[in-house]
Amino acid sequence: MFIDSAQIDVKAGDGGRGCVAFRREKYVPHGGPSGGDGGKGGNVYLQSTFHLNTLLPFRFKRSFHAGRGQHGMGSNCHGKNGEDLVLEVPVGSIVYLKDSSTVLYDFQHENERFLIASGGRGGRGNARFATSTQQAPRIAEDGEAGEEISLRIELKLLADLGLLGFPNAGKSTLISAISAARPKIADYPFTTLTPHLGVVDCGKAGSFVVADIPGLIVGAHEGKGLGDRFLRHVERTRLLAHLVDVSGATEGDPVERLEAINRELALYDAGLARKKQVVIATKIDALEDAGALERLKSYCRRRRLPFLAISAVTRQGIPEFRRLVLKKLLATPKPGLEKGSTPPAATPLPEDHVREPE
């Protein structure tokens, strides 16, 4: 099951109480306070991993607690620190404060670790309060409470290529033809209800990751159809492949459908409209009107958009598709990985939260 958003509550461990104790041993004439300190509560961390591609682990369990510190003991024995809790999230996850647009951290690389809640300090035992004038203190501190925070986590898939188009444009058929992904394929709209990822092997030339995004319709940016729920998954793709059905099975002119989807991208996020794009005419094995294909090709030529006609069923144009995409990707550097760059930071982090070194 693909889950791309979750709300969770996390609590760091409370610190242990300090101990009130006195040393009483045979043949030791001078005892004294011997209460140890309480242990520190465990911290809560979020850590990114490529082993997950969904937020499913947070669907049924939404409350997480780190271990609390052990109480102090006599003979100056300090309590054990609470165990830290590390919650794994997929690479591409963005962590917000719940019911807020405040970004705490944006995970764009593997093994990034972020301290989200600090454990409470352990209380001091009575041995800490002994002075020359107060040699038998009977006081100790309670441990501090661990931090609590409510979070909203959203996942934006990290893929090299995003497949866009109207429902039944042939996106699922294409991704199944070029990768090992096996999305549902049927002859009715909105067959794809969740994004699918596939890895395309181009041999010695390399490979790339492709994301199949559920079909869009006019008004998607306002929530129509599947709406903008999955549009965020193409925000981080390096290249967009706009699939247009030219078989005649879909109503409307191919050029108008291409422009309609591009308008939806611009209305949702102007940055999406500026992404590099290739136009792919699909289902040419069932082409009924050669003029429609020619109009789309001429439109792309005028706007200097890379164009290719394919049939995923007969595999016509599939090798050329792989080469075209790989060529464009090699000319498009990965965001945040240019020479001398650093991983993108989140908006200002709270002062009491720091990124732990890897």
Question: Which pLDDT band, with edges at 50, 70 and 90, does 356 fall under?
Answer: very low
Over residues 98-114, the pLDDT tens digits come to 988 889 999 988 899 99
Q: Is the pLDDT of residue 60 over 80?
A: yes
Q: Is residue 319 part of a domain?
A: yes
What pLDDT sits at residue 167?
Answer: 81
Q: Give domain status of residue 91, yes or no.
A: yes
Amino acid at 269: D
339-349 pLDDT per residue, tens: 333 444 433 33
Q: How far apart are CA 164 and CA 171, in angstroms?
A: 7
pLDDT at 353 over 50: no
Which CATH number do you get for residue 79?
Answer: 2.70.210.12
Residues 41 and 172 in one domain: no
Please give the pLDDT value at position 350: 41
Q: Is 245 within the bounds of a domain?
A: yes
Average pLDDT, whole number, for the chain? 81
Helices (H) and strands (E) in the chain, counts: 5, 16
**Are both 287 and 303 inside the same structural domain?**
yes
Domain that holds residue 299: 161-330
Considering the domain architecture, whether residues 259 and 187 belong to the same structural domain is answered as yes
Residue 291, SS3 per DSSP: helix
Query: What is the per-residue DSSP string for 83-122?
Result: PPEEEEEETTEEEEETTS--EEEE--STT-EEEEEPPPPP
Q: Has residue 42 got a pLDDT over 90?
A: yes
Split into its structural domains, the chain has a count of 2
Residue 156 has pLDDT above 70, yes or no: yes
Whether residue 98 is found in the same domain as residue 189 = no
Q: Are residues 166 and 285 in the same domain?
A: yes
Looking up tokens 């092997």 gives 201
User: Helix, strand or coil for residue 210?
Assistant: strand
